[in-house]
Amino acid sequence: MKMKLKYYPVFFAALCSMGLQAGNPERIGQAGASQLLINPYARNSGMVGSNSAKVRGIEAQFLNIAGTAYTRKTELLFNRSNWLQGTDIFINSFGLTQGIGETGTIGFGVVSINAGKIDITTEDQPEGGLGTYNPSFYNISLSYAKMFSDNIYGGVNFKLVSEQIPNASARGMAIDAGIQYHTGKYDQIHIGIALKNWGPKMHYVGDGLSRQVNVNSINNTYQLTVNNRSGAFELPTLVNIGASYDLYLTRDSSGLSRKHRLSFNGTFTSNSFTYDNGLFGLEYAWKDMLMVRGGLYTEKGIFSESTRRTAFTGPAGGITFEVPFNEKKSTIGLDYSYRFTNPFGGTHTFGLRLNL
């Protein structure tokens, strides 16, 4: 069994490299379902997602599904994001992880995006005046993760992706898979790799793609209903390759004290349909009750306004308060993160977490 486990990371790395065309700027804009790239969780986004190698709990459904295997009892999480403040876009996410048996964990997560009201326009009335509509976006995840040993964790996540506007919708499936490896004298070294958003193409269907056209014949004019076909679009597949190191700043009589922890995080994101990303994060924790974090998101041209292809300018920060509330050491935590943007007023994310 130990001999087989040794080869899981190598096999998974080879699988990811075969299925990915990374960082190709010529393919920018050719993928759909871009909401799959939005990080809805406060702890993750406070470090711009740089902690993919050691992320734990339900938030691991976004970065590296293997991290959900750390939940041995029950975890509940709710987050709300004010996405690009000023756009009236709000993101709600809910998740649950539950340990099963001695080594397994199942997870369920829902991410809902409220994109606000959009004016209805037509070719005859391009300025609107016909009312508004609300597009809706949902990602529903069901995952399973397992502790293969004290050092190796792995998992798989199945996602239902839904996009809908009046009388037209697109639905599809995507799969995530990931592995985390932890080692060192104090288990302070973390390595992770994850494949995300792999799945078949999606396309829109519905009556909203139909239109009435006038057909003129020799003796008459009549109307026909014409159904326009929509083009299929691919999912934004990517690979996260991350590493983290925990530095414990104090020692006690037993040798190691976890009272003060400083974690260094880094992740390389290899994208199929846009530039690759370098993600860097730093987190300080006091007794795992008070956590302060910061991060830097990088990609080609991001630090120049003339070449930047995203509203995010790079920096992010966040804070967490988490305290026990009963004899079973159950905890309740409050999370907050902020990501800087230009234009708009940044992205605020608030979270509430229960570990039972």
Q: What angle do CA 354, 163, 145 make, to 5 degrees?
A: 40
The SS3 call for residue 245 is strand
Asked whether the CA dihedral 307, 278, 238, 44 is positive or negative, the reply is negative
Domain 2-355 has CATH 2.40.160.40: yes
Residue of 64, 69, 38 whose CA lies nearest to 240: 64
Please check the confidence at residue 130 and state whether its pLDDT lies above 50. yes
Please check the confidence at residue 122 and state whether its pLDDT lies above 50. yes
Give me the pLDDT at residue 334, please: 97
Determine the average pLDDT of the residues in 262-277: 94
Q: Which helix (H) or strand (E) holds 2?
A: helix 2-6
- In the chain, % helix, strand, coil (3-state, to 5) comes to 10, 55, 35
Q: Extract long-range pairs of 186-189: CB within 8 Å, 24+ residues apart.
A: 186/246, 186/248, 186/256, 188/245, 188/246, 188/247, 188/248, 189/243, 189/244, 189/245, 189/246
- Band the pLDDT of 17: cuts 50, 70, 90: very low
pLDDT digits (tens, 9 = 90+) for 63-120: 999 999 999 999 999 999 999 999 989 999 999 999 999 999 999 999 999 988 888 8
Mean pLDDT score of the chain? 89
Determine the average pLDDT of the residues in 338-354: 96
**Residue boundaries of the structural domains of the chain:** 2-355
Per DSSP, the residues of 3-66 read HHHHTHHHHHHHHHHHT---S-GGGTT-B--GGGG----HHHHHTTTTTTTT--GGGHHHH-GG
Phi, psi of 307 (to 5 degrees): -115, -5
> What does the block give as tokens for 354?
């229960």
Question: CA 253 → CA 86, 180, 286, distances in Å?
Answer: 53, 31, 19
How far is Cα 325 from Cα 182, in angstroms, rounded to an integer? Answer: 29
pLDDT digits (tens, 9 = 90+) for 46-65: 999 999 999 999 999 999 99
